[in-house]
Chains A and B, each alone.
Chain A
Amino acid sequence: MSTLTDPPKEQFRLSMLLYDTRYRSATIQVIAMLGFMLLAAWLIDNTLSNLAAQDKAIDFGFFTESAGYDINQRLLEYTSRDSHLRAALMGLLNTLVVAVLGCITATILGVIIGVLRLSSNWLVARLMTIYVELFRNVPVLLWIVFVMAILIETLPAPRAFRGENPEATMSLADSVAVTNRGVYIPEPLFSRTLGDVHVFGEAALRFDVSLDLIAILAVLGLSLWGAHRVTLRANRIQEATGVRPKTWHVRTGIIVLPMLVLLIGLGFHLGYPALKGFNFQGGTHLRNSLIALWLALSLYTAAFIAEIVRAGIMAISKGQTEAAEALGLRSNRIMSLVVLPQALRVIIPPLISNYLNLTKNSSLAIAVGYMDITGTLGGITMNQTGRELECVLLLMLVYLAISLTISGVMNWYNEAVKLKER
C-alpha cells in the first residue's frame, strides 16, 4: 500500500540566495540597486560638500535677474533688460527654428539624393555617392564653420550694393539682398492689421500672438477642409458611376479665393529691404549664423537621410517595381505610388533618429555665434552668473525634453503607418 506523502519541505538557507535561481535574480537586483544608490549618494554628497565649500547653494534665483546681453536673431520681443529666463526662452525658440527648418530641408534633399543615387544614370549616381561620402566623413562642426566662412568671405558686403554702378545687385526683382552680413528677404506687412494679443502680460514668458496670423491659419484650415470634402465627394461619385469628376479647379478656387479676400481685407503688402546708411533696413534679416547652421546641418544630415532612403528603396523587392511597370506606370509614378509608400516603413525609424541628431547637432550653433539655447543658457548666462550646475542641468533637461517629444511623436506616427500583420 502506498501512501502519498508531501515532498520534504525545504528549509530556506541563506546560501540559496546565491545558488538557487529562484532567489538569485532578486539578490543580484538588490545588490545592483544598492550599488547604484551608493554611487548616486556618493556623487550627490560630493556635489553638496563642494558647493558648500564654494558657498554656492543651488539657486535658480538668477533667472529673474536682468540678462544684460543682446540676442540679435529672435522670434519674440527681447531687450537686454529682460531676464535670463526670457533669454533662455529666446534661445529655445531659436533652437527649434533651426531644428524645424533643418529637418524639412534635410528630408527633401535626402530623399532626392537617395533616389538619384539609385539612378540608372551612371554619372548622376556617382556624383551622389561622392556627395554622400564627402559629407558623411567630415565632422559636422567643420561643415558649419566652413559654410560660415563661405558666407562671410565670398558674398558681397552691403556697401557693394551702393553707388551708380554697384558691384552687387539684389536678386529676385530687387527683393532679396544676399550680403556677407546675412540675407534680407521681404517681410509680410498688413496695413489694416487686426493687432496682437498679449499672452501672459508682462511675465518673462510673455509672447504676442498676431491676430492676422491666426486669421490666416483659420481660413487656410477651413479651405483645406472644404477641399478635402470636395475630394471625398469626387471619390463617392467615382465609386458610384465609375467616372471621376474634374475637381482641381474647384479645389484650387476653394483654397485660393478666401485667402485672397482675407489678404486684401487685411491690406497685405511686402516690406522690401532697402539700403539705408551702412546697412539694409526693412525686410526680415536672416543672419549668417542662422543660414550657415541651417545649411550645414541640412546638407550634412541629408547625406545620412539619403543612405537611409536608398536602403529603404533597396529593401523593396524588385518584383514590386516590375509589377508596376507591367501595369504601365511611369517611373516617377512607380516611385511615388508603389516603392516609396512601402519603403517608408523601413525608412521611418532611422529617420527619427536622424531628426534627433540634427536637433542635438544644432547645439553646435555656439561655434558660429547663433544664439540658440546653448548659446544663451549654456553660454552667456552661464558665464555671467557662474551658475554652471543649474545652467548645464537645465540645458540637459531642455534637450532631453525635446528629444523625448520628437521620438514620441515620430514613434506614434511609425505605429500608425506600420504594416498591420495578423
Chain B
Amino acid sequence: MSGTHSHTVAFVRDTMLPEQAPPASEVGAIGWARHNLFSSWFNAILTIASLAAIYFVLAAIVPWILSPTWDGTSLSNCRETLAAAGHGDAHGACWGVIKERWIQLIFGFYPSHLYWRPIAAFVLLGVALAPVLFSDRVPSKLLIFSLLYPFIFPWLLWGGTIWMPIAAMAGFVIGGLVYKFASQALSTLLGVILGAAAAVIWWMVLAAPVSGALESILPIGIEAVESRKFGGFMLSVTIGVVAIACSLPIGIVLALGRQSDLMIVKYICVGFIEFIRGVPLITLLFVASTLLNIFMPPGTNFDIILRVLIMVTLFASAYMAEVIRGGLAALPRGQYEGADSLGLDYWQAQRLIIMPQALKISIPGIVSTFIGVFKDTTLVSIIGLLDPLGLSNAIRADANWNGIVWELYGFIALLFFVFCFSMSRYSMYLERKLQTGHR
C-alpha cells in the first residue's frame, strides 16, 4: 500500500527549521573581505602587496602635503619653518608659492583690475552651455544667449570696441539673409554659395572699415587687453573652449564630406583629415608660430593666440571628424533608407534623423576628444605662451622660488585633473540620459 513505505523510515521531520543567520564569516566586513580580498592565496598576496604599496606611497606623500608652510615667503623661509616645526631634513612641501602665485597661475599677467572680465566670461560660458548640456532642466529660450555668446566671449576677454563683435555677427546675419532670398528666388545650392560668398566678402573687405567708422561715430568699448598678457589656466581654457566649440561643426562637415558620394569632396576631406592626424600637434604649433604669417597676404600680422587657436581648431576638427564618422558608420542602413522613403532631402535627413543619432553614439569619443584637446593646450608652452606649465618655469626663475618643483606641478596637475575628470563624468551622465535602451 502507499503507506507501507513511510513506516520503514525511522524518522521524518514534519516541521520546517527556522531560517538561520549566515555564518559570521560570510556576512559583514569579514565576509566581504573574504570574497573580495582573500578569495584565493594569489588574491591574498595581491591584496597584501597593494596594501603595502598604498602604505608606502601615503607615508611618503601625506607628511609632505601636511607641511605648515602656507605662509612661506620664499623657499629658504619655507625650509626654516619646516626645520622649526621639526619636520626633519626639510622634508615637506613649500605651499607659500601656491598661496602667492595661484592667481597668476590662473590669470597669467591679465591686469588685476580686470579680473572680473575673464571670470564673467567663464560664468556666462556656463549660462550659455546650460541649455545645451542640461536641455531638460533649463528653458530653451536661453539658446538665444548661447548663439550670442561666441561674440560676447572674445569681446569680454580681449576688450576693445563693441563694434567689432557686432560687425562679425553682422556677417552671419548678412550671409543668412542672402541665403534666404537666394534660395527662394534661385535654388538652395545657389543660396548656400551666394550666402557664404556674401559673408566672406563682408568679413574680409567691409567689416573692418564699417566697424571703424561706427567706432569713430559712437565709441563704445571696454579697455583692451593685449594677447601677451593672457596666461595661466585662463589661456588653457580659452584655447580649449574655442577649439572645442569650433571643431564640432567643422568636424561634422568633414565627416559628412568623407562619407559623401562626391568623389572630389571626399578626397579633399580625406586628405585634410589624414594629413592633420598624421602629424603631431607640436608641428602645427610651429606652423602657427613661424609660418602662418607667411601663408597670409603680405603685411598681415595677426595675433599669436589667434594663430594658435586656428591651428588647434584645425587639429581638433580632424579628430572630431573621425569620431563622428564612426558614429555615422554605426548607424544602421535602414535609418538612411527610412529618411529617403519619407522624401526628406539630404540636409533634412542629416539634421532630423542621422545627426542626432550619430552624435549620440559618438558622445564618448567626442568627449574624449574634448579632453584630449584641453590637455594638449599645455603644448603652447613649447612655443613660448605662458600657459600654466610655461608660467611654472617663469615662477621658478624668481630667486625666491628657485628650486620649487613638486608644488607647482602638483597644483597644475590637480587643476587639469579636476577639469578633465569632471568632463568624463559628465559624458557618462549624458550617455545614461540619452540611453534609449536599444542599441
Interface-facing stretch out of B16-24, B172-180, B302-310, B372-380: B372-380
Partner of B296 from A46, A120, A134 at Cβ < 8 Å:
A46
Q: Which residues of A contact B263 (CB under 8 A)?
A: 29
Decide if B420 touches A137 in the complex (CB within 8 Å): yes
Decide if B424 touches A137 in the complex (CB within 8 Å): yes
Q: Of A138, A153, A363, A389, which is in contact with the most chain B CB atoms at under 10 Å from its CB? A: A138
* Cβ-based interface call for A181 (8 A): no
* Cβ-based interface call for A53 (8 A): yes
* Chain B contact residue count (CB 8 A cutoff): 59
* Cβ-based interface call for B193 (8 A): yes
Q: Which residues of B contact A141 (CB under 8 A)?
A: 378-379, 381-382, 389
Q: For this complex, into which size category does the number of interface residues on chain A fall?
A: 35 or more
Partner of A361 from B186, B268, B279, B280 at Cβ < 8 Å:
B280
* Cβ-based interface call for B119 (8 A): no
Alpha-carbon gap, A46 to B54, bound state (A): 60
Interface-facing stretch out of B128-136, B137-145, B406-414: B406-414
Question: Provided the pairs A141-B378, A395-B286, A400-B278 are in contact, do residues A120 and B298 lie with their beta carbons within 8 angstroms?
Answer: no
* Cβ-based interface call for B283 (8 A): yes
* Cβ-based interface call for A396 (8 A): yes
Interface-facing stretch out of A18-26, A104-112, A217-225: A18-26
B31 to chain A, nearest CB (A): 13
Question: Provided the pairs A50-B294, A133-B421, A140-B375 are in contact, do residues A121 and B283 lie with their beta carbons within 8 angstroms?
Answer: no
Question: Provided the pairs A122-B37, A123-B51 are in contact, do residues A27 and B282 lie with their beta carbons within 8 angstroms?
Answer: no
Closest to B420 in A: A137
Give A3-54 interface residues, CB cut-off 8 Å to B. 18-19, 24-25, 27-29, 31-33, 36, 43, 46-47, 49-51, 53
* Cβ-based interface call for B405 (8 A): yes
* Cβ-based interface call for A157 (8 A): no
Question: Provided the pairs A46-B298, A123-B50, A139-B416 are in contact, do residues A392 and B265 lie with their beta carbons within 8 angstroms?
Answer: no
Give B279-320 interface residues, CB cut-off 8 Å to A. 279-283, 286-287, 290-291, 293-298
Interface string of A136-165 (1 = CB under 8 A from B): 111111100110010001000000000000
Closest to A45 in B: B297
Decide if A121 touches B413 in the complex (CB within 8 Å): no
Give B249-284 interface residues, CB cut-off 8 Å to A. 261-265, 268, 274-275, 277-283
* Cβ-based interface call for B371 (8 A): yes
Decide if B278 touches A142 in the complex (CB within 8 Å): no
Alpha-carbon gap, A25 to B261, bound state (A): 9
Number of interchain pairs (Cβ within 8 Å): 160
B148 to chain A, nearest CB (A): 29
Partner of A122 from B36, B268, B291 at Cβ < 8 Å:
B36
Partner of B47 from A24, A121, A146 at Cβ < 8 Å:
A121
Decide if A378 touches B279 in the complex (CB within 8 Å): no
Q: Which residues of A contact B375 (CB under 8 A)?
A: 137-140
Partner of B187 from A18, A49, A139 at Cβ < 8 Å:
A18
A216 to chain B, nearest CB (A): 35
* Cβ-based interface call for B39 (8 A): yes
Decide if B283 touches A142 in the complex (CB within 8 Å): no
Q: Which residues of A contact B46 (CB under 8 A)?
A: 119, 121, 123-124
* Cβ-based interface call for B417 (8 A): yes
A140 to chain B, nearest CB (A): 7
Q: Which residues of A contact B262 (CB under 8 A)?
A: 25, 28-29, 32
Q: Of A31, A121, A364, which is in contact with the most chain B CB atoms at under 10 Å from its CB? A: A121
Give A94-122 interface residues, CB cut-off 8 Å to B. 119-122
Q: Which residues of B contact A32 (CB under 8 A)?
A: 262, 264-265, 268
Closest to B375 in A: A139
Q: Which residues of A contact B193 (CB under 8 A)?
A: 31
Alpha-carbon gap, A133 to B425, bound state (A): 11
B152 to chain A, nearest CB (A): 28
Q: Which residues of B contact A53 (CB under 8 A)?
A: 298
* Cβ-based interface call for B210 (8 A): no
* Cβ-based interface call for A366 (8 A): yes
Decide if B298 touches A49 in the complex (CB within 8 Å): yes
Alpha-carbon gap, A124 to B44, bound state (A): 11
Interface string of B364-392 (1 = CB under 8 A from A): 00000001000111110110000001000
A49 to chain B, nearest CB (A): 6
Decide if B190 touches A47 in the complex (CB within 8 Å): no
Question: Provided the pairs A127-B50, A137-B421 are in contact, do residues A153 and B282 lie with their beta carbons within 8 angstroms?
Answer: no
* Cβ-based interface call for B43 (8 A): yes
A400 to chain B, nearest CB (A): 4
A252 to chain B, nearest CB (A): 28
A230 to chain B, nearest CB (A): 33
* Cβ-based interface call for A260 (8 A): no
Question: Provided the pairs A19-B187, A404-B278 are in contact, do residues A146 and B409 lie with their beta carbons within 8 angstroms?
Answer: yes
Alpha-carbon gap, A124 to B297, bound state (A): 59
Alpha-carbon gap, A27 to B243, bound state (A): 32
Decide if B279 touches A399 in the complex (CB within 8 Å): yes
Decide if A46 touches B279 in the complex (CB within 8 Å): no
B192 to chain A, nearest CB (A): 10
Decide if B37 touches A121 in the complex (CB within 8 Å): yes
Alpha-carbon gap, A168 to B283, bound state (A): 41
Q: Which residues of B contact A153 (CB under 8 A)?
A: 405
Interface string of A64-79 (1 = CB under 8 A from B): 0000000000000000
Q: Which residues of B contact A378 (CB under 8 A)?
A: 282-283, 286
Q: Which residues of A contact B265 (CB under 8 A)?
A: 28-29, 32
Decide if A121 touches B282 in the complex (CB within 8 Å): no
Q: Which residues of B contact A214 (CB under 8 A)?
A: none
Q: Of B263, B286, B375, B381, which is in contact with the most chain A CB atoms at under 10 Å from its CB? A: B286
Q: Which residues of B contact A82 (CB under 8 A)?
A: none
B397 to chain A, nearest CB (A): 15
Question: Provided the pairs A31-B193, A142-B412, A395-B283 are in contact, do residues A367 and B290 lie with their beta carbons within 8 angstroms?
Answer: no
Decide if A399 touches B389 in the complex (CB within 8 Å): no
Q: Which residues of B contact A360 (CB under 8 A)?
A: 279-281
Q: Which residues of A contact B54 (CB under 8 A)?
A: 127
Closest to B376 in A: A139
A249 to chain B, nearest CB (A): 29
Decide if B279 touches A374 in the complex (CB within 8 Å): no
Partner of B406 from A43, A134, A149, A388 at Cβ < 8 Å:
A149
A-B complex: 3 closest residue pairs judged by Cβ atoms: A122-B36, A137-B420, A360-B280
23 cross-chain CB contacts under 8 A = A18-B190, A28-B262, A32-B265, A46-B294, A46-B295, A46-B298, A50-B294, A51-B294, A53-B298, A121-B37, A137-B371, A137-B420, A139-B389, A139-B416, A141-B381, A141-B382, A142-B378, A142-B409, A367-B381, A374-B280, A374-B283, A388-B286, A388-B291
Apart from A50-B296, A395-B286, list 8 A-B contacts with CB within 8 A: A29-B264, A31-B193, A43-B295, A53-B298, A121-B37, A138-B413, A138-B420, A139-B377
